[in-house]
Amino acid sequence: MSEPLDIVILGGGTAGWMAAAALVSLIPRTSCRVRLIESEEIGIVGVGEATFPEIRNFNDAIGIDEAEMMRATNAAFKLGIQFVDWGFKGSRYMHPFGVHGPVGMDHIFHHRWLRARRLGLKGDIQDYSFAAQAARDCRFELPETRSTQLDSAYTYAYHFDAGLYAVYLRGLAERRGVVRTEGKVKDVIQDPETGDIRSLLLESGEVISGDLFIDCSGFRSLLLGKTLGVGWEDWSKWLPCDRAFAVPSERDELSPYTRSTAMEAGWRWRIPLQHRTGNGYVFSTSFIDEDEAAASLMRSLETKALAEPRMLKFQAGRRVVNWANNCVAIGLAGGFLEPLESTSIYLIQVAIMHLVPLLPGRRVDPRLRDEFNRLIDLQYERIRDFLILHYKLNSREDAEIWRYCAAMDVPESLTRKIELFRHSAIIERYRDGLFPPTSWLSVFIGQGLIPEGYSPLADTMPGEALVTHMDAFRADILDRVEEMRRHERFIDLYCGAEPAVAPMGAEVRL
């Protein structure tokens, strides 16, 4: 029986504890031992408090009970992101976690909508997204699994306190055998020939050796970046924001969506949790200075601030590879994309869930490493392009950042996508990674890009019948949404941080 693989995770927070919890839950102790080193002195960023639906797969894989987790993290549900003032002043659209139109028709639906619109159909494309409607109306219920049902046309994610999530996962991980060491790294010992990391020397003098190192040390990227020297690919010319202020405020209306409001030099987030609201301003120092930004944020809060704004510095980009030698970077140590589409925790999760099946033995098989890197490359690039889209696709003249972004050169692949949509309303579909066509559709249309043409395949129905059909569908959605429980009520019943008075019974559909 060969010796188990020794895995050392440097850094806690969401990245570190997600990795630890996953490794210890999925792989038996006979195959790997997990150790995590963190220092309470080092602040945890904790910006990523909205998530993406994939997080549920992660929780399921680890065996986390949803309601329990939500209680422990003050979580609420998220059906999408509402974008305000993006593209043009006064815009307000929902990027939903669900398709537009009936299930199974998403290829053709928006073509039909475009045609119907020309024939006089009123309203937004949002009206045809069950998730968007439910979100707008602050409703929530768990979706159906049978794919033909209207109610299966959406999925959901969470808003939660990332700090509490990390704590929750830490509890789980330690219970399952992860060894936590408090400490800061003083030095990194490498193998003189291969450059592989052999051990970490802590300030306490303790030496911790390992076979595989997971760098969750945040922006510092102490292992991958600093020690192994993996270069940085800078994306700031496309994503100019380089700072964020974060400030909690009192609990507000518990809407089941994140709001992102475009500002004078960036954008503001609003994430409602059970116990408070998370707020932040992501901005670019090229277009505003820090003090102004802080002030702007405070001014815009909907409820009373509960603390002083805290600032974070960052740069959009990523490490050229996320796995070099025997070190895998997860989270900020591997790259950063602003939380415009709540992808931070997603990127952490995706790295972990790609790493687990490709977990190397004592000697790292470069084939496994190359495959990991290829998969992560795909993820980063595709998300990056989607984020850039939000910035690029704007016609705001009122602030320099927007003028800059409208004019900037963007990756060729993105230009092609925009032009093709503009011309033919066609959206490319990927096998792996984000984002599905429905997401692109919501941003394109929401930010004002109405295609000049649509597929002739949408012309096969008589026009009147089409409009009637669309109206009926929209009405169906509204009817169904009205039947749904209100989000706050659902939270109370399902996972209220204070236990609900009424026991959960048949009323709650699981």
Partner 1 sequence: MTRRIEQVVIVGADAPAWMAAAAFQRSVSNAGIRVRVIELPTLLQPADAYSALPELAGFHRRVGLEERLLFSLCKAVPIAGQRFSNWSGAAPPFIHGYDRSPPPAAGLGFTQLWTKGRQKGLRTEFENFSLGAMAAKAGRVPATEPGAELHATFGYNLDARAYSALLKHFSTSGGVESKAATIGDVEIEGDRITAIILGDGERVEADLFVDASGPQAVLIGRMAGAEFESWREWLPCDRMLAVSAKALKPLPAFSQISAFRQGWIGLYPLQDRTAVVAAYDSRQISDENMLTDLPALANLPIGGEAIVSGLAQGIRRQTWVGNCVAVGESAFTLEPLDAVQLHIAHYCISQLMTLFPVEAGSFPEAELYDRIIRRAAINLRDFQFAHYKLNRRFDMPLWDGCRDAAPPETLQRKLDVFAARGRIPLYDDETFQEQGWESLFIGHGFMPQSYDPRVDAVPEQEHIALIQARLNDIVGLVEAMPPVDNFIAEADPYRQVETTAPRVGVN
Binding positions for partner 1, rule: CB under 8 A? 26-28, 30-32, 61, 107, 356-359, 361, 365, 367-368, 370-371, 374-375, 416, 419-420, 423-426, 428, 430-432, 451-461
DSSP at 441 = H
Kindly list the strands in the beta sheet with 212-215, ordered across the sheet, starting from the edge strand earlier in the chain. Answer: 179-182, 32-38, 5-10, 212-215, 327-329, 323-324
Residue with Cβ nearer partner 1 (232 or 430): 430
Residue with Cβ nearer partner 1 (26 or 67): 26
Residue with Cβ nearer partner 1 (372 or 473): 372
Please, what is the minimum distance in Å from the beta carbon of residue 464 to partner 1? Answer: 15
- Whether 78 is a known active-site residue: answer yes
Annotated catalytic residue: which of 78, 237, 304, 417? 78
Q: How far apart are CA 481 and CA 163, in angstroms?
A: 33
Residue with Cβ nearer partner 1 (112 or 268): 112
Please, what is the minimum distance in Å from the beta carbon of residue 333 to partner 1? Answer: 23
How, if at all, do strands 277-283 and 266-272 pair?
antiparallel
Cα 230 from chain centroid? 25
Task: Please compute, for residue 116, the number of CA atoms within 13 A of its CA located in the half-sphere on the CB side.
Answer: 25
Please, what is the minimum distance in Å from the beta carbon of residue 369 to partner 1? Answer: 10
Please, what is the minimum distance in Å from the beta carbon of residue 36 to partner 1? Answer: 18
Crossing angle of helices 344-355 and 13-26, in 10° steps, is: 30
Please, what is the minimum distance in Å from the beta carbon of residue 365 to partner 1? Answer: 5
Pick from 208, 184, 187, 188: nearest CA to 197? 188
Residue with Cβ nearer partner 1 (26 or 201): 26
**Degrees, nearest 5: CA angle 332-338-85:** 170
Residue with Cβ nearer partner 1 (167 or 368): 368
Residue with Cβ nearer partner 1 (122 or 367): 367
Q: Is 250 helix (H, G, I), strand (E, B) or coil?
A: coil
Pick from 114, 121, 119: nearest CA to 100? 114
Cα 61 from chain centroid? 18
Please, what is the minimum distance in Å from the beta carbon of residue 386 to partner 1? Answer: 16
Q: Is 289 helix (H, G, I), strand (E, B) or coil?
A: coil
Q: How far apart are CA 268 and CA 309, in angstroms?
A: 13
Please, what is the minimum distance in Å from the beta carbon of residue 106 to partner 1? Answer: 12
Q: How far apart are CA 236 and CA 231, in angstroms?
A: 15
DSSP at 374 = H
* Region at 426 (left for phi over 0; alpha for psi -120 to 50; beta for the rest): beta
Q: Which two tokens stand for residue 371?
A: 């495959």
Q: How many CB atoms sit inside 10 A of residue 14's CB?
A: 27
Contacts of 455 (CB under 8 A, 6+ apart): 108, 111, 424, 425, 426
Asked, as a colleague might, if the bond just before 435 is cis with ω within 30 of 0, I would say yes
Please, what is the minimum distance in Å from the beta carbon of residue 432 to partner 1? Answer: 8
User: Are 264 and 288 a contacting pair, CB within 8 Å?
Assistant: yes
Residue with Cβ nearer partner 1 (358 or 508): 358
Positions marked catalytic: 78
